[in-house]
Chain A
Amino acid sequence: DVKVTQSSRYLVKRTGEKVFLECVQDMDHENMFWYRQDPGLGLRLIYFSYDVKMKEKGDIPEGYSVSREKKERFSLILESASTNQTSMYLCASSYSSYNEQFFGPGTRLTVL
């Protein structure tokens, strides 16, 4: 089975802090994604990557950056956390662009 893991289930940070969310997949998937999930808004794509060191902006990239130095790892970075970034963050990966996405358990981030 595909396994997508995220570094933390719950995270509490203060406004202005730099925050790193890590995601690792163990099935040699090409594509990796970061979404945020908010009630009533569904999942919104922040960034995705289709290869090592490649990244593309999604629908809501403002305030975020990403890093993919190795194929299995995709990091989401909040350079200066703000309260409106309090949310559930979901990482996903897919083998190719024609395949479904597999999701991690999510990180619930609270910014105080």
Chain B
Amino acid sequence: AQTVTQSQPEMSVQEAETVTLSCTYDTSENNYYLFWYKQPPSRQMILVIRQEAYKQQNATENRFSVNFQKAAKSFSLKISDSQLGDTAMYFCAFMKQPSGGYQKVTFGTGTKLQVIP
């Protein structure tokens, strides 16, 4: 079974600064997908960024980028130029290569990020 660990339950960052959220996972799979989801207070969870394990290049989406270290099974999220709207719970998620229509995503316990004005 896969496990996803987010070791930082809460973090804070000053507006305009950079923050890195950590995530490690445990799997024996070689092909899989990793995600970061954002859940703002009282709002819907949305996908921030996605990484395919076979891709060596780290994914980026505007101010969000990841540091994917496959050998270390690490998948950290870096938020640059933090904005007040980045205040949210962030979940790291793992999905192994689907088979037979079966899509199983394992989520971490989340990191609550507070951006301070």
User: Residues of A at under 8 Å CB distance from B?
Assistant: 4, 30-31, 35, 40-45, 48, 50-51, 56, 90, 94, 97-98, 100-106
Contact = CB atoms under 8 A, between A and B. Distances in A.
B6 to A, nearest CB: 8
Interface of B: 4, 9, 33, 35, 37, 43-47, 50, 91, 98, 101-105, 107-110
Nearest to B35: A100
Contact of A50 (B9, B35, B102): B102
A25 to B, nearest CB: 13
B109 A94 contact: no
A42 B106 CA distance: 9
A98 B50 contact: no
In order of increasing CB-CB distance, the 8 nearest A-B pairs are A97-B98, A97-B103, A103-B45, A43-B107, A42-B109, A50-B101, A42-B107, A100-B47
A21 B3 CA distance: 28
9 contacts: A42-B108, A42-B109, A43-B107, A90-B45, A94-B103, A100-B47, A103-B45, A103-B46, A104-B44
A105 B44 contact: yes
A100 B45 CA distance: 12
A48 B35 CA distance: 19
Nearest to A103: B45
A43 B91 contact: yes
A40 B9 CA distance: 8
A41 B44 contact: no
Choose among A41, A97, A98, A106 the residue with the greatest number of B CB atoms under 10 Å from its CB: A97
Contact of A98 (B4, B37, B46, B98): B98
A103 B103 contact: no
A31 B103 contact: yes
A100 B98 contact: no
Given A94-B103, A101-B103, 18 more contacts: A4-B44, A35-B107, A42-B91, A42-B107, A42-B109, A45-B105, A50-B102, A51-B101, A90-B45, A97-B101, A97-B103, A98-B103, A100-B35, A100-B50, A101-B47, A104-B44, A105-B44, A106-B44
